[in-house]
């Protein structure tokens, strides 16, 4: 005999908890820039580490339609210019693209953050060393991140980011990282 359970005995918290555990591993479908995370559930999570500072974050930063202020503030600090220690507001759209791409890749490994916010001083220094650094880089506006996953290729990470249709995606295979930003939708590199 099949036993019936009453849905009235389930609490909202129990349902959210059950849904949250499955939403973290579900690979969502993305159709438009405004829907990066449509279908990914009621929570958004970001996992990163910085080899430069030794810091790590693994946090839920969005629940049921609302950004968690303290979590977002911690992301801003984590993605600071490590050379100058300057902190800048990181555009939430960039954070969402990073989280959506991570979900699509279906990995537990955190991103390695190579570059988040860059102060004008840092950007000028990097630009003097490399022709690949834009004069008006979106990194200086807190709208870009350079990321790496050791378990996935540059091609795999960039395809996931491109599928979000949320901004720019640069493939830097020679340096083994992917650039993600919330600027105009475009892609470059190999």
Q: What strands, in cross-sheet order, belong to the sheet with 168-172?
A: 66-67, 56-63, 43-49, 111-115, 144-148, 177-181, 168-172, 186-189
Total domains in the chain come to 1
Instruction: Output the pLDDT for position 131.
Output: 75
Whether 173 is in a domain gets the answer yes
Per-residue pLDDT 10s for the chain (190 aa) are: 433 333 434 444 443 444 444 343 333 333 343 455 554 457 899 999 999 999 999 999 999 889 999 999 999 999 999 999 999 999 999 999 999 999 999 999 999 999 999 999 999 998 898 877 888 899 999 999 999 999 999 999 999 999 999 999 999 999 999 999 999 999 999 8
Q: Report pLDDT for 71.
A: 96
pLDDT at site 130: 82
Domain contains 40: yes
Domain extent, residue 138, equals 28-189
59: in domain: yes
Rounding to the nearest 10 degrees, give the CA dihedral for residues 78, 81, 87, 88: -100
Please check whether residue 15 lies inside any domain of the structure: no
Confidence (pLDDT) at 180: 98
8 within some domain: no
Asked, for residue 68, whether it belongs to a domain, the answer is: yes
Whose structure tokens read 């220094």?
Answer: 125
pLDDT the model gives residue 132: 79
CA pair distance 190, 188, nearest whole angstrom: 7
- The answer to whether residue 19 is domain-embedded is no
pLDDT at residue number 84: 95
Q: What is residue 24's predicted lDDT score, i.e. its pLDDT?
A: 39
**102: helix, strand or coil:** helix
* pLDDT the model gives residue 163: 94
Distances (CA, A) of 128 to 101, 122, 123, 124, 135: 31, 10, 9, 6, 10
The verdict on residue 135 lying in a domain is yes
Q: What pLDDT is stored for residue 29 in this prediction?
A: 35
CATH number at residue 64: 3.30.1380.10
pLDDT, position 21: 40
């Amino acid at each position: 005999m099949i036993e019936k359970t009453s849905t009235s005995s389930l609490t909202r918290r129990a349902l959210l908890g059950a849904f949250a555990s499955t939403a973290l591993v579900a690979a969502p479908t993305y159709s438009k820039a405004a829907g990066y995370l449509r279908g990914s559930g009621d929570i958004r999570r970001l996992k990163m580490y910085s080899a430069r500072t030794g810091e790590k974050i693994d946090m839920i930063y969005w629940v049921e339609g609302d950004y968690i202020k303290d979590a977002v503030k911690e992301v801003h600090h984590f993605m600071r210019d490590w050379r100058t220690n300057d902190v800048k507001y990181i555009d939430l759209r960039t954070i969402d693209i990073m989280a959506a791409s991570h979900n699509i890749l279906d990995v537990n490994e955190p991103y390695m953050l190579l570059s988040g916010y860059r102060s004008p001083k840092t950007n000028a220094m990097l630009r003097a060393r490399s022709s690949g650094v834009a004069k008006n880089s979106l990194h200086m506006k807190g709208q870009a991140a350079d990321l790496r996953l050791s378990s996935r290729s540059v091609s795999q990470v960039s395809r996931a980011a491109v599928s979000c249709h949320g901004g720019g995606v640069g493939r830097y295979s020679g340096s083994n990282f992917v650039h993600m930003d919330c600027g105009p939708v475009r892609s470059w590199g190999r």
